[in-house]
Structure 1
Amino acid sequence: MKKLFSLLVILTVMVGLFGCSMDEGASTSTGTKKDDGELKVGLSMNTLNNPFFVAVKEGAEAQAKEKEVNLVVTDAQNDPGKQLADVENLLQQNIDILIIDPADSDAIAQGVKKANDAKIPVFTIDRQSNGGEVITHIGFDALKSGNIAGNFLKDALSGKGKIVEIQGIIGTNVGQQRSEGFNQIMDETEGFEVVARQSANFDRGEAMKVMEDILQSQPEIDGVYAANDEMALGALAAIEAAGRLDEIVLIGCDAVDPALDAIRNGKMEATIAEPPFFLGKEAIDTALKISKDESVEKEVILDSTLVTPENIEQVKTK
């Protein structure tokens, strides 16, 4: 009996030592790739209720499938509080790298810092974070985009006219800088008068209501700049319903498919191609570089292109 008891004790100690050895090996593992070679990437999207961001996700998913990356996507529904909870949830899922498209540039800083504390490499796409340490930011030049829109209206209207600006989410760097770039051109063009400037938070329905109100208060409008295509399409619905389609030049931004169709149909004059599908693909490629300890630029700026009826079939968006 004593021999049996001694044998049980020895076996218990051996199992305990083996378990400790396994735990120690797991805790000292280094690098960003899992031992099985699969890279697990978390992608925190600010919203998926917008064709632009849906296309970002689709680009990321397509590239992840091709490169055999395990991609986990969350949707913050434009709620900074929910996005912070999404980030916390992703960090608990044993991801290797975190990609964030912020709902709010200030609010997401806390989420970036949580990733920093967890030693998870993190970077942003499209919109930047106003805090925390990110490895890189991938996006478009929002100032340049605003300049392109302003210059288009300047050329289309020969530098004279009453202008409406429908702004995006001012709590994001993209919303701020697209407006700033646009107003640089407005301020330097003596013949332009901005008769209305209002945010519609990058939302189509909100933009339609904003434009309806502006149309009622402004009997003369020559040009409209909406800081994204969703808002441009909302504004277009209001303009068309008011029977003023022929008197207003409209430009948006992002080159989403419904806006391109509106240009082909002669209802919208222009947009600015900032292809979201390519942004999603670039995000996955960057995550792979980081996982292999390859160097990446602190900021990667993708190209922006004016899209009009003259070049619409040549502009590649996917």
Structure 2
Amino acid sequence: MKKLTLIAAALLLILTTGCSLEPPEWAKPKTGGDIKEMKIGLSVSTLNNPFFVSLKDGVVAEAKKQGMETIVVDAQNDSAKQSNDVDDLIQKGVNVLLINPTDSAAISTVVQNANDLGIPVITLDRSSDKGDVKALVASDNVKGGKMAAEYIVKMLGKGAKVIELEGVPGASATRERGKGFHEVADTELNVIAKQAADFDRTKGLNVMENLLQGNPDVQAVFAHNDEMALGAIEAIQSSGKNIPVIGFDGNEDALNSIKAGKLTATVAQQPELIGQMAVQAAKDVLQGKTVDKSIPAPLKLVTKDQQ
């Protein structure tokens, strides 16, 4: 009986060890030491969006400048995949995690896993709902949403009928851009419809087609990002209407569309700068320096006359 108990205990120990997320000793992150020996793990929500490609490029370029290695993984807008990707980065012994969450709630568990292992986490563009995040490097999304609403009021006057295309439900950028927009729109505009299109151009087109059928008197559209805005423009053009559309990000396609007189305006972020600032924050954290919990990157409203 005693022998069976010992065997059961040994099996339990093996199973417990095998299920642990803790990396092997050789892969555990170093603390202190030469910054050029440090390894950055970057998890991006999707590389199918020019904004996040620019963000990634900013991280990689700045890390290379600092002499640091970067391992990049693409979540493909799948929160479960992103959690697995970050676990893999932990297993590879990264010294710091830079995470651009697909979903701010879903990423919380792996952020807490990293916390337990002493791996500092910095988030980019979107936050994590739980866990210890050393810094969020992002544009002021609330301010950007307000800027979009104020521009529509200035352009069309109070009470204009507006459709809002929302981003991925659960993403902090969706909540914050919507919050800022409605701080103005709820009193100055008439938001006749709003629906999520997940920050995606094709979904933006499809959702806009449906919303146009039910709201033929719409006077303007605010999209939580440029990809959805560009999709909405396609739907509007196909309908034969001429409705101003305001996006958010300032990616290259959007800026070209503004020049061509299609997209009306965008609240422009600076994704490469966000990436660079995140690496600098990571460097400071790894060197034991204190960083601000929120590190804002500047925004500007871009129109055809203001490019």
TM over 0.5: yes
Residue 307 of structure 1 is aligned with which of 293, 302, 305? Answer: 302
Could you tell me whether the CA contact under 8 Å between 1:32 and 1:97 is conserved in 2? Answer: no
Give the CA deviation at 1:199.
0.7
- Aligned pair in 2 of structure 1 residues 148, 113: CA closer, same or farther (>3 Å)? same
The CA distance in 2 between the partners of 1:298 and 1:55, in whole Å, is: 23
Residue in 2 that maps onto 1:145: 144
- Measure the CA separation in 1 of the matches of 2:278 and 2:27: 28
Instruction: Write the distance in 2 (CA, Å) between the matches of 1:28 and 1:150.
Output: 48
SS of residue matched to 2:305: coil
Give the alignment of 1:184-223 within 5 angstroms. 184-189=183-188, 192-223=189-220
Amino acid of the structure 2 residue aligned with 1:59:
G
- The amino acid across from 2:80 in the alignment is G
Distance in 2 of aligned mates of 1:62 and 1:28: 25
Partner SS for 1:123: strand
Greater shift in the superposed pair: 143-152 or 56-65: 56-65
Distance 1:142 1:285 in 2: 21
Structure-2 residue corresponding to 1:31 = 31
Q: What runs of 5+ residues in structure 1 fail to find an aligned partner?
A: 1-24, 313-318
Corresponding residue for 1:272? Answer: 267
After superposition, the Cα gap between the structure-2 partners of 1:218 and 1:109, relative to the gap in structure 1 and judged at 3 Å, is same
The answer as to whether partners of 1:45 and 1:100 remain within 8 angstroms in 2 is yes
| 1:78 alignment counterpart | 77
Deviation per CA, 1:260-306: give whole Å up to 9, x if none.
Answer: 01110111110011111111111111111112212211111111111
- Gap runs ≥5 in structure 2: 1-24
Q: 1:87 to 1:220 in 2, by over 3 A?
A: same
Query: What SS class does the counterpart of residue 82 from structure 2 fall into?
Result: helix
Deviations 1:243-271 (A, max 9, x none): 112xx111000000000011101111100
Quick one: distance in 2 between partners of 1:208 and 1:197?
14
Contact 1:254–1:274 under 8 Å retained in 2: yes
Match for residue 164 of structure 2?
165
Conserved? CA contact 1:138–1:302, under 8 Å: yes
Quote the sequence identity (%): 39
Distance 1:286 1:151 in 2: 32
Aligned position for 2:154: 155
1:49-64 residue pairs with structure 2 within 5 A?
49-64=48-63
| Counterpart Cα distance in 2 of 1:263 and 1:303 | 20
Contact 1:164–1:224 under 8 Å retained in 2: yes
Q: SS of 1:178's equivalent? A: helix
**How high is the TM-score relative to the length of structure 2?**
0.88
TM-score by structure 1 length?
0.85
2:284 is the counterpart of 1:285: no
Counterpart amino acid of 2:283? L
Structure-to-structure mapping, 1:104-123, within 5 angstroms? 104-123=103-122
Take 2:152 and 2:108, find their aligned partners in 1: how far apart are those partners? 36
Matched to 1:155, the amino acid is: K
Q: Which secondary structure state, in structure 2, belongs to the residue aligned with residue 310 of structure 1?
A: helix
Q: Is the 8 A contact 1:41 1:71 kept in 2?
A: yes
> Would you say the 8 A contact 1:150–1:185 is kept in 2?
yes
Does the residue aligned with 1:171 lie in a helix, a strand or coil?
Answer: coil
2:223 matched residue in structure 1: 226
Pick the structure with greater CA Rg: 1
